[in-house]
Chains A and B, each alone.
Chain A
Amino acid sequence: MFCSRKKSLEVERIVKANDREYNEKFLYKDNRIHTSKYSILTFLPINLFEQFQRVANAYFLFLLILQLIPEISSLTWFTTIVPLVLVVTMTAVKDATDDYFRHKSDNQVNNRQSEVLIDSNQDQSSAPYMKVLKKLQNEKWMNVKVGDIIKLENNQFVAADLLLLSSSEPHGLCYIETAELDGETNLKVRHALSVTSELGADISRLAKFDGIVVCEAPNNKLDKFTGVLSWNGSKHSLNNEKIILRGCVLRNTSWCFGMVIFAGPDTKLMQNSGKTKFKRTSIDRLMNTLVLWIFGFLICLGTILAIGNSIWENQVGDQFRTFLFSNEREKNSVFSGFLTFWSYIIILNTVVPISLYVSVEVIRLGHSYFINWDRKMYYSRKATPAEARTTTLNEELGQIEYVFSDKTGTLTQNIMTFKKCSINGRIYGEVCDDWGQKTDMTKKKETMGFSVSPQADRTFQFFDHHLMESIELGDPKVHEFLRLLALCHTVMSEENSAGELIYQVQSPDEGALVTAAKNLGFIFKSRTPETITIEELGTLVTYQLLAFLDFNNFRKRMSVIVRNPEGQIKLYSKGADTILFERLHPSNEDLLTLTSDHLSEFAGEGLRTLAIAYRDLDDKYFREWHKMLEDANTTTDERDERIAGLYEEIERDLMLLGATAVEDKLQDGVIETVTSLSLANIKIWVLTGDKQETAINIGYACNMLTDDMNDVFIIAGNTATEVREELRKAKENLFGRNRSFSNGHVVFEKKQSLELDSVVEETVTGDYALIINGHSLAYALESDVKNDLLELACMCKTVVCCRVTPLQKAQVVELVKKYRNAVTLAIGDGANDVSMIKSAHIGVGISGQEGLQAVLASDYSFAQFRYLQRLLLVHGRWSYVRMCKFLCYFFYKNFAFTLVHFWFGFFCGFSAQTVYDQWFITLFNIVYTSLPVLAMGIFDQDVSDQNSMDYPQLYKPGQLNLLFNKSEFFICMAHGVYTSLALFFIPYGAFHNMAGEDGRHTADYQSFAVTTATSLVIVVSVQIALDTSYWTVINHVFIWGSIATYFSILFTMHSNDIFGIFPNQFPFVGNARHSLTQKCIWLVILLTTVASVMPVVAFRFLKVDLFPTLSDQIRQWQKAQKKARPLRTRKPQTRRSSSRRSGYAFAHQEGYGELITSGKNMRAKNPPPMSGLEKTLYNSTSWIENLCKKTTDTVSSFSQDKTVKL
């Protein structure tokens, strides 16, 4: 627990490379991480402290203390201490095991190996001059310290937040995958400072590196870093581009060196992961409130009885004192009342027996096991069963209103597949469409052997022989189409040692297209800044790259201009269909209509489409254009506009080739799940780090966005005012103008806005969707606008937040949690979802993926998004229904059990005399009535799982919290009070003037106790029998067994033998034998049972008859259809036709065009022969500068000066 060491808030971090002693002064945290809560020593005190913070435990402790005071003890101490110790121990053991597993996973991470540059000989570390004798050593992650220099190898996880010093790639570039951090799988480039990149892999020079980094304090901003490196007397500003964060994976870079800036808990990954919060279900919270209420209720009862006692003592008791308690002094009746108060508190405490808490935990544990055991949530391909990692949240699964889902890896498989294409008006790849179910058919279909392509990727599946035929026949259009795919992209290729081509793709869609071309015989081999080499059906062809018209969000297309070996100049263009179709040559009209139809068809299947076109350019025209471009590049004013204009000019009169359709493969069953969940009134919000286009596409693909929607609001403002304005507009649009709105400047009071919401919910009709990007979200989450945002978002059927940071994900969840008071569930697979998973009421991790962070942070995990349907609709619903039934019954039972004492108080001089035997009180909740209700709580099924899935509407009562809430509690309480009245007053009336069959008197206290207790056991057993709707063998055994147990224990305890051994403990000897052989006692018991149960049956009958709920109807129907097969649900509409969405979602920023043409990323062995064109491009805007410009945090000269002064 070293990290618990407190230190003053860090304002600025100063790190010196290779100098542990220097850095130790600052007490920076080392790279060890702790997610565990306890250590062996702290476990007991902390855990006990936590446990006794729970209202219930504290209450029982208090009761225990009361019971130890002899003056007021009306029950023996063991009635409380045994269950209390049991509960506390059970909870402690559970917490300990949980923490043990956290320790284990911490250890696993902490013990990962990395190569660190450290002193070769520890003895010499004291001599500062010997420090140069450093070498690379394997070291555990936890021993890595700030300032160390680490060597990373390809595909390794980054151990800490590093400053990149040098790498194997030219110019100190390295590629990283940040999927664990932000969910994006495309590669990102980081590059070292040129001064440090010269260090290369030279260990001795690296060991001598003694730069000092002065930078910001640890924070959670993933895309921001400011700092200054001072080395060799000069200062270099540092930004995010030079930092590799923990959790990233090094890709396509054989090695790199980095200096640790932030370690362990200070890393941005850990800072972003949020704190482990103790999650409680709303029923837990409700229970705590109810316990407090009950405590208040007890105080009322106690007060009434205490006052009664004072009065009684005053009026009646005094006369008894001299008579019964002759040698006692005159007693103060008020004091006696005071003592009685506490005595009654003890007696009546069984209203909330501690066994309630034990039972609740047991039931939840049972439900968790059912989740673990469910074969229908087992993913055989990865051999991953579902897992309930937390056992305390099950019933909350039945109350979910909002699901926050990650996209990549959760909704989608993050696999892009080239699915179909339309070439020259003909669709290829249509094969399996006739059968509907695509995935099934593909397996059966024989995968095409791509004889033409030796490089064919085995995983590639494309099933149209017609296309192969066309290729073999040499259809020029088809060839041109494939050639375009092989030429027009930003992919970079590399040959690994085995001679296989490896593509470095920035965006998976591009990868899919290039791979498709490769498999179809047009293999992209290599590129230099001015050439592209492809292998066309076996022959190598080198094209000269003349111009690269890069993608951006506005243009929505990219083009290359190449000169083929024959000397023809061609422009190849691919882009969004709407954009491209405007620039087609008029002669394409017929083809356009045809392709357009095809595109609609593709889009209807949820595929991402691109239109493909080319243009033949003549030399002269191109040269003129090129000259103009050069001119434009050299001018300073309106350069961008002029270049854009020139691009526009050349990209016209295009000849349409066709269109491609790429599938961003959804996980199986996502659409059905989404449909079913929305039928269950669960709102699904997609929170993704991905770009807007991708997110929207997925929204359409899984039917969350449809064309039937009345409006889709897109909030993508860049400033606070813009965002505010956009929100306001959207709201006006949504609510119509008749409602006046705060224009965003007025802060809504929470209450007021909630009131408005309730009004609005009735007035808004139609489906709306909201799409907001991370940038706008940052503004929208500010306090004065967030109510507007929330109001708007909650009116919308679908909300998509794109480009959000992990923290923003959590903020959105918190927002909904806090202001909507709704139960939320977050589902995700990556480390970027951890904070969201932790802050939602329930976090679900997709397991079976590589990263485990999400699963480790989650409460439930399974392998496929589609299991969410079963988890919520079946397990969650059952858990909720069972838990509610359990609680209703439990409170009823204990009110019935306990309040009898209250009524008895009026007839025993308020003397805190219990109605029942002490043994009965001790055993009632533990033995006599615990198992039947447990069996109901664990096994009950109001409707079958199939029906739960088929009728998602059954889920709604849980969301509305209908089955157990305060009013339900009062009903249970009233039921209990009524039963206690019957239980007390019927025997009371009967015992008046009663005599046994043999004339002996039976109206004694002990007989009364036995009669009441027996009636109680029978009444509550009948009640549970009526409440149990699913009678398994276990229920039978438990219910009948409990009654049998009651009688056998009763007779045992009233037997002569046990009295002979413990005469003081078992004074009821012979009672059962005598009382329970009297007919009139049984008549009393029977009448009590009838009187207690019949009204409830009548009430329920009328309720079901008059206001049947859906569940009642289904149950009736289920009964009627017992033998018939359950009705299959109408298949949710799988795909709906929708308008075309051409998603050229290659990059959110500009592509790698500049990087490619600049040749920066090319190996130094290909000396970049810069043509004029390239030069201008390169010189005009260095891509690095460009990237810097786009990141928000350029180090201002001011701050630089400031740091330098320090």
Chain B
Amino acid sequence: MKRKCQDYKSRLPDNTAMKQQQLPAFRLQLSANEILSGFFAIGLFCLGMGIILLLSAKSIREVEINYTEKCATCAKLREDATNFDKECNCSISFYLPQKMEGNVYLYYKLYGFYQNLYRYILSRSNIQLVGTDVKDVRNCAPFKTSDNGLPIAPCGAIANSMFNDTIVLLYNFNSSTHIRVPMVRTETAWWTDKYVKFQNPTFQNLSSAFAGTAKPPNWPKPVYELDEKDPGNNGFVNDDFIVWMRTAAFPNFKKLYRRLHRIGNFTEGLPAGSYSFIINYNFPVGRFQGQKAVVLSTLTWSGGSSLFLALAYLVTGAVTLLASFSMMAVHLKLKERKTFFLQ
């Protein structure tokens, strides 16, 4: 289409490298040596990485206690929705044989809870959560409005199903002295979540900011009463709420609940000894045949325990090395009877 007058002068195509397909180019033709040495290198790297990961995974101390069965009475109580206002506490004791050094993190873990359902993930309103329009409940079906027609804040299925057990860890210093292990809830959520994605509506008073909205049906208290002691942790910017709102990828997941505050006895971490969890049991898992657990864990350079990654690296490294040996064997054996095509 771009034929101009000048093209008519000479219809001889331009002699440019591009048009004549003569662009200078590197011809990628991996030789056997290159491939084989690449394979060896990668195999060794993977093997090494696997060993490092394995060692670091071994260094992690982790305690997981499934309390679904252990708190059977509470679980039964929660089966019946009419008992929602009844408190139920449950205590679980355990013994820590070795001390957990360094930072210790407390997670809650759910089994069989599908936080990744398509309609579940969609059922939230980012506009509401960022505080621009508290009444925006467009995407929140089926938890848009309460029975009396008020928009729910925070709306949607995710918010409604928020994990609401409270977990307290006691250190049984001796049979009579129970020290409550100091835990902090700060820095459990991502910075962007806490300061960008979740914002309270700008009002001097939180309760008036949420005026004209209803609490999610499953919640005992409205959102502005999540943490009345700390205004920086109340409303939408509540850490537990934010952590819950970051939906998990798979039906079994753990979420960060608290961090060990390393003071007093616990500056080194959790000393060995006897502990007990006091759990205020609110979240019903029996209905979906799920399980709940609490996890105490330390970290390593790569984060949490990644035994799978370590093993995967080991296997990949081993297979790659094996493959490179067999490829080399094949190559050397065939080299003799390879004939050059020109002859």
Residues of A within 8 A of B (CB): 74, 97, 316, 319-320, 322-328, 343, 369-370, 372-375, 378, 380, 383-385, 907-909, 911-913, 939, 941, 945, 986, 988-1009, 1025-1026, 1028-1035, 1056, 1059-1060, 1063-1064, 1067, 1069-1071, 1073-1074, 1078-1080, 1083-1084, 1087, 1090-1091, 1094, 1097-1098, 1101-1102, 1105-1106, 1108, 1110, 1113-1119, 1127
Check B241 for interface membership: any CB of A closer than 8 A.
no
Interface centre among A385, A911, A912, A1118 (most CB of B within 10 A): A911
Check B256 for interface membership: any CB of A closer than 8 A.
yes
B251 contacts A1001, C-beta separation under 8 Å: no
Given A991-B249, A1070-B197, are A1005 and B115 neighbors across the interface (CB < 8 Å)?
Answer: yes
Return chain B residues, CB-CB under 8 Å to A97: 1
A939 contacts B23, C-beta separation under 8 Å: yes
A993 contacts B342, C-beta separation under 8 Å: no
Interface of A is mostly: helix
Cα separation A397 to B69 with both chains bound (whole Å): 72
B residues 207-221 touching A (CB-CB < 8 Å): 217-218
A1098 contacts B306, C-beta separation under 8 Å: no
The 24 listed contacts between A and B (C-beta, < 8 Å) are A74-B118, A320-B288, A324-B160, A327-B143, A373-B19, A375-B12, A908-B118, A913-B118, A997-B301, A1004-B249, A1007-B249, A1026-B28, A1059-B196, A1063-B127, A1064-B138, A1070-B193, A1074-B190, A1083-B49, A1094-B42, A1098-B39, A1105-B330, A1113-B340, A1113-B341, A1119-B29
B23 contacts A1033, C-beta separation under 8 Å: yes
B127 contacts A1101, C-beta separation under 8 Å: no
Return chain B residues, CB-CB under 8 Å to A1127: 342
Check B98 for interface membership: any CB of A closer than 8 A.
no
Cα separation A1029 to B189 with both chains bound (whole Å): 47
Cα separation A28 to B218 with both chains bound (whole Å): 84
Return chain B residues, CB-CB under 8 Å to A324: 117, 120, 157, 160-161
Return chain A residues, CB-CB under 8 Å to B10: 383
Given A991-B249, A1001-B255, A1002-B303, are A1119 and B27 neighbors across the interface (CB < 8 Å)?
Answer: yes
Check B269 for interface membership: any CB of A closer than 8 A.
no
Tell which of B31, B118, B305, B342 touches A1117, judged by Cβ atoms closer than 8 Å: B342
Return chain B residues, CB-CB under 8 Å to A997: 299, 301-303
Return chain A residues, CB-CB under 8 Å to B157: 324-325
Return chain B residues, CB-CB under 8 Å to A1091: 312, 316
Return chain A residues, CB-CB under 8 Å to B116: 907-909, 911, 913, 1005
B25 contacts A912, C-beta separation under 8 Å: no
Return chain B residues, CB-CB under 8 Å to A1004: 246-249, 253
A385 contacts B254, C-beta separation under 8 Å: no
Return chain B residues, CB-CB under 8 Å to A1005: 115-116, 121, 247-249
Tell which of A1007, A1083, A1110 touches B302, judged by Cβ atoms closer than 8 Å: A1083
Tell which of A1031, A1070, A1101 touches B192, judged by Cβ atoms closer than 8 Å: A1070
Cα separation A582 to B249 with both chains bound (whole Å): 98
Cα separation A325 to B288 with both chains bound (whole Å): 13
B316 contacts A1034, C-beta separation under 8 Å: no
B107 contacts A995, C-beta separation under 8 Å: yes
Cα separation A952 to B316 with both chains bound (whole Å): 43
B254 contacts A1083, C-beta separation under 8 Å: no
Return chain A residues, CB-CB under 8 Å to B119: 325, 911
B303 contacts A996, C-beta separation under 8 Å: yes
Cα separation A1087 to B47 with both chains bound (whole Å): 11
Check B252 for interface membership: any CB of A closer than 8 A.
yes
A1105 contacts B299, C-beta separation under 8 Å: no
A1080 contacts B341, C-beta separation under 8 Å: no
B309 contacts A939, C-beta separation under 8 Å: no
Check B21 for interface membership: any CB of A closer than 8 A.
yes
Tell me the smallest distance from the CB of A895 to a CB of chain B, in Å. 22
Q: Mark B150-164, 1 if CB is under 8 A from A, else 0.
A: 000000010011000
Tell me the smallest distance from the CB of A936 to a CB of chain B, in Å. 11
Tell me the smallest distance from the CB of B127 to a CB of chain A, in Å. 5
Cα separation A999 to B132 with both chains bound (whole Å): 31
Q: Taking A911-B114, A1000-B189, A1074-B192 as given, write out 20 further A-B residue pairs in contact, using a Cβ cutoff of 8 Å, ordered by the A residue number.
A: A97-B1, A319-B288, A375-B20, A378-B12, A908-B114, A908-B250, A993-B305, A996-B304, A1000-B188, A1004-B248, A1004-B249, A1005-B121, A1005-B247, A1029-B28, A1063-B129, A1073-B192, A1087-B312, A1090-B320, A1094-B320, A1102-B327
Check B231 for interface membership: any CB of A closer than 8 A.
no
Tell me the smallest distance from the CB of B157 to a CB of chain A, in Å. 5
B residues 294-343 touching A (CB-CB < 8 Å): 297, 299, 301-309, 312-313, 316, 320, 323, 327, 330-331, 334, 338, 340-342
Return chain A residues, CB-CB under 8 Å to B39: 1094, 1097-1098
Given A328-B142, A1032-B24, A1098-B323, are A1003 and B249 neighbors across the interface (CB < 8 Å)?
Answer: yes
B residues 122-149 touching A (CB-CB < 8 Å): 125-127, 129-130, 132, 138-139, 142-143
Question: B324 — nearest CB in chain A belongs to which residue?
Answer: A1098
Return chain B residues, CB-CB under 8 Å to A1117: 340-342
Check B53 for interface membership: any CB of A closer than 8 A.
yes
Q: Mark B271-296, 1 if CB is under 8 A from A, else 0.
A: 00000000000001001110000000
Cα separation A1108 to B340 with both chains bound (whole Å): 11
Given A384-B11, A995-B105, A1032-B23, are A319 and B287 neighbors across the interface (CB < 8 Å)?
Answer: yes
Return chain A residues, CB-CB under 8 Å to B331: 1105
Given A1004-B249, A1074-B190, A1117-B341, are A1063 and B132 neighbors across the interface (CB < 8 Å)?
Answer: yes
| 7 interchain residue pairs of minimum CB distance | A1070-B192, A995-B304, A1008-B249, A373-B19, A1113-B341, A989-B308, A1063-B126
A909 contacts B114, C-beta separation under 8 Å: yes
Question: B189 — nearest CB in chain A belongs to which residue?
Answer: A1000
Tell me the smallest distance from the CB of B256 to a CB of chain A, in Å. 5
A1000 contacts B251, C-beta separation under 8 Å: no
A1034 contacts B20, C-beta separation under 8 Å: no
Return chain A residues, CB-CB under 8 Å to B12: 375, 378, 380, 383, 385
Cα separation A469 to B222 with both chains bound (whole Å): 123
Return chain A residues, CB-CB under 8 Å to B120: 324, 911
Cα separation A993 to B249 with both chains bound (whole Å): 11
Cα separation A380 to B21 with both chains bound (whole Å): 20
Cα separation A1031 to B188 with both chains bound (whole Å): 47
Return chain B residues, CB-CB under 8 Å to A1114: 341
Return chain B residues, CB-CB under 8 Å to A1080: 302-303, 306, 309
Interface centre among B32, B217, B288, B334 (most CB of A within 10 A): B288
Question: B300 — nearest CB in chain A belongs to which residue?
Answer: A997
B334 contacts A913, C-beta separation under 8 Å: no
A912 contacts B118, C-beta separation under 8 Å: yes
Question: B190 — nearest CB in chain A belongs to which residue?
Answer: A1074
Return chain B residues, CB-CB under 8 Å to A1031: 25-28
Tell which of A384, A1035, A1070 touches B196, judged by Cβ atoms closer than 8 Å: A1070
Cα separation A1189 to B170 with both chains bound (whole Å): 122
B288 contacts A1097, C-beta separation under 8 Å: no
A1069 contacts B28, C-beta separation under 8 Å: no
Check B187 for interface membership: any CB of A closer than 8 A.
yes
Return chain B residues, CB-CB under 8 Å to A989: 308-309, 312
Return chain B residues, CB-CB under 8 Å to A1006: 246-247
Check B103 for interface membership: any CB of A closer than 8 A.
yes
A993 contacts B254, C-beta separation under 8 Å: yes
Given A1083-B49, A1084-B309, A1090-B46, are A1003 and B26 neighbors across the interface (CB < 8 Å)?
Answer: no
Cα separation A1001 to B107 with both chains bound (whole Å): 9
A1119 contacts B253, C-beta separation under 8 Å: no
Cα separation A1083 to B1 with both chains bound (whole Å): 50
Return chain B residues, CB-CB under 8 Å to A328: 142
Return chain A residues, CB-CB under 8 Å to B191: 1070, 1074
Cα separation A1026 to B29 with both chains bound (whole Å): 9
B334 contacts A1106, C-beta separation under 8 Å: yes
Tell me the smallest distance from the CB of A228 to a CB of chain B, in Å. 52
Given A378-B13, A908-B118, are A1001 and B28 neighbors across the interface (CB < 8 Å)?
Answer: no
Cα separation A247 to B303 with both chains bound (whole Å): 84
Check B15 for interface membership: any CB of A closer than 8 A.
yes
